């Protein structure tokens, strides 16, 4: 017998603490959990059922899609469109808004998701995951359009991600701290294993793609150079470097032992303000990181306060242990 708290129980107990709660939000979260369980099963069986490799198509970003990108996106849409909890959806893999078919009831929430973050790693068996963000649909909007999704990250009702690694884990915040749940494959339930996750303010670990170093701005060059110099440098301590190229894996590591993750602006394509997507990656991950005591910034402003201009907008991302993020931001201000 398990003595831990099931995710379903955890969500229901949260609902009971909110006066006049209708259960719609609880139902939506349970539907997302079910979709993530399905994707987890597919990821684990990818090579056995011939769904690895490229799909031969591109997403709205012009990036090559993996077969599992396409399949995971379909799982999310088909699992959630009929439930009656959503007014509309938006996916990193699809150009426009995903409307709820007319034959299904509409709810009061908007969902944005990256169905399979880090999918470039799927063929080499490195952790990937699903990221999601929940917003309220503005009152009196029966047919949401893109502008209804363009809410700053501070307006998120909930954010979470599911990481498909050696174990499948769901990390979740509703604005009252961060909790992690591990999927017990034998019973098909997520169980609370990491309550009240917190990020230490200081760290000796950074994650960045060093192959882009020559394109970084001077403040980022300065920060990384100081880390590399170790005990002999101005920081007076040694740092470790990590780079997984899977944001869910990077953020999960930071949640469990601290660190800083950076995908800063670089000069490879000056017309692009950043690499990562504000609505599908930066906002939900920043909400989670801040709720765990960390910080996040574009280097110029708090990510959660960025006013979105489009659902596929990109931004620079610097997030993780608070004191390190603030140091990088300070270097930008000095510059």
- Characterize the bridge pairing of strands 98-99 and 240-242: unpaired
Q: Where in the chain is the domain with CATH 3.40.190.80?
A: 205-334
Is 116 annotated for ligand binding? yes
Among 332, 328, 253, CA closest to 292: 253
How distant, in Å, are the alpha carbons of 28, 217, 258, 288 from that of 111? 10, 34, 28, 16
117 is in an annotated binding site: yes
Tens place of pLDDT per residue across the chain (335 aa): 456 899 989 988 888 877 776 789 999 999 999 999 999 998 887 654 455 556 556 565 655 566 888 899 999 999 999 999 999 999 999 999 999 999 999 999 999 999 999 887 777 878 999 999 999 999 999 999 999 999 999 999 999 999 999 999 999 999 999 999 999 999 999 999 999 999 999 999 999 999 999 999 999 999 999 999 999 999 999 999 999 999 999 999 999 999 999 999 999 988 889 999 999 999 999 999 999 999 999 999 999 999 999 999 999 999 999 999 999 999 999 98
**Nearest C-alpha neighbor of 28 from the set 90, 76, 66:** 76
| Top CATH class, 7-194 | alpha beta
- What is the reported pLDDT for 48? 42
Q: Which CATH number fits domain 205-334: 3.40.190.80, 3.40.50.700, 3.30.465.10, 3.40.50.1100?
A: 3.40.190.80
For the chain, state the CA radius of gyration: 20
* DSSP class of 40: H
pLDDT of residue 50: 54
H-only helix segments in the chain: 7-16, 24-44, 67-80, 146-149, 218-229, 247-257, 283-291, 322-334
> CATH 3.30.540.10 region(s) of the chain?
7-194
Distance of CA 183 to the CA centre of its chain: 18
**How far is the C-alpha of 253 from the C-alpha of 75, rounded, in Å?**
27
> Residue 269 — φ and ψ, nearest 5°?
-135, 90
**In sequence order, what are the residues at sequence separation of 6 or more whose Cβ sits closer than 8 angstroms to the Cβ of residue 41?**
none
- Element containing residue 276 per DSSP (H, E): strand 276-277
Residue for token pair 């708090």: 302
* Pairing mode, strands 179-184 and 189-194: antiparallel
What is the DSSP track for 116-177?
EETGGGGGGT--EEEEEEEEEPPTT-SS--HHHH---GGG-SEEEEEEESSSEEEEEESSS-
Annotated ligand binding at 119? The verdict is yes
* CA atoms of 6 and 10, how far apart (whole Å): 6
CB neighbourhood size of 62 (10 A): 6
Q: What are phi and psi of 117, to 5 degrees?
A: -70, 140
Consult the annotation and say whether 183 binds a ligand: no
Is residue 209 a known part of a binding site?
yes
86-91 vs 109-117, strand pairing mode: parallel
- Give CA–CA dist 126/112, Å, rounded: 24
Q: Are strands 205-207 and 260-263 parallel, antiparallel or unpaired?
A: parallel
Looking at residue 282, the DSSP 8-state letter turns out to be I
């Amino acid at each position: 017998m398990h003595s831990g708290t099931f995710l379903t129980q955890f969500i229901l107990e949260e609902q009971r603490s909110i006066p006049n709660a209708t259960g719609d939000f609880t139902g939506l979260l349970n539907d997302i959990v079910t979709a993530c369980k399905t994707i987890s099963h597919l990821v684990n069986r990818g090579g056995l059922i011939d769904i690895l490799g490229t799909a031969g198509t591109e997403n709205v970003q012009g990036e090559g899609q993996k077969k599992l990108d396409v399949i995971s996106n379909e799982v999310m849409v088909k699992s959630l469109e009929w439930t009656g909890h959503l007014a509309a959806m938006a996916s990193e893999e699809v150009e426009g808004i995903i409307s709820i078919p007319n034959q299904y009831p509409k709810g009061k929430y908007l969902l944005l998701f990256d169905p399979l973050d880090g999918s470039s790693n799927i063929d080499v068996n490195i952790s990937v995951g699903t990221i999601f963000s929940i917003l309220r649909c503005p009152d009196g909007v029966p047919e949401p359009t893109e502008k209804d999704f363009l809410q700053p990250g501070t307006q998120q009702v909930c954010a979470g991600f599911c990481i498909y690694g050696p174990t499948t884990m769901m990390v979740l915040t509703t604005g009252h701290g961060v909790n992690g749940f591990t999927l017990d494959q034998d019973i098909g339930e997520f169980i609370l294993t990491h309550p009240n996750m917190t990020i230490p303010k200081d760290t000796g670990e950074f994650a960045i793609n060093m192959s882009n170093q020559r394109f970084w701005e001077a403040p980022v060059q300065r920060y990384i150079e100081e880390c590399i110099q170790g005990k002999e440098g101005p920081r007076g301590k040694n740092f470790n470097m990590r780079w997984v190229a899977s944001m869910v894996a990077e953020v999960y590591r930071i949640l469990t032992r601290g660190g800083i993750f950076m995908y800063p602006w670089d000069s490879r394509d000056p017309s692009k303000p950043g690499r990562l997507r504000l609505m599908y990656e930066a906002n939900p991950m920043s909400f989670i990181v801040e709720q765990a005591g960390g910080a996040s910034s574009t280097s110029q402003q708090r990510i959660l306060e960025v006013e979105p201009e489009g659902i596929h907008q990109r931004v620079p991302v610097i997030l993780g242990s608070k004191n390190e993020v603030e140091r990088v931001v300070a270097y930008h201000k000095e510059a």
